[in-house]
Amino acid sequence: MSSYNLDDVKEMAGGDEEFMLVVVQTFLEEIPPDVEAMNEAIGNDNPSLAYQYAHKMKPNLQLFGLELMEQIQVIEAWSKQGKRKDEVPEAAEKITKKVNSATTELREDFDI
């Protein structure tokens, strides 16, 4: 089973394969460095920076069906209300693992 779902991407592309490829390439270029930067911000106990990266990634994570909204919300709650800090490392790890899996699979599936 794939760790990502392209239904929303396909719907957005409306059958335009080139556009779909651009969306996938953009995900591959932007999301892994954003995850890395988010993890670095968490490691440096910088909730506002972690929030910026988590929030920036949210639409792409949703678009690719990665089902990580709960984990993103943990990071947002830590940043906005100072809550759920104890859950942040686990949430970040889940985001990282899922994005890494999706990245690997997308590269293979689209031969990028």
Closest of 110, 20, 38 to residue 79, by C-alpha? 38
Determine the Cα–Cα distance for residues 91 and 101; give it in Å rounded to an integer.
Answer: 16
**44-66, pLDDT tens digit by residue?**
999 999 999 999 999 999 999 99
Low-confidence ranges of the chain (pLDDT < 70): none
Listed residue (44, 27, 8, 41) closest to 99, CA to CA = 27
Instruction: Check if the beta carbon of residue 106 is closer than 8 Å to that of residue 26.
Output: no
Residue ranges per structural domain of the chain:
7-109
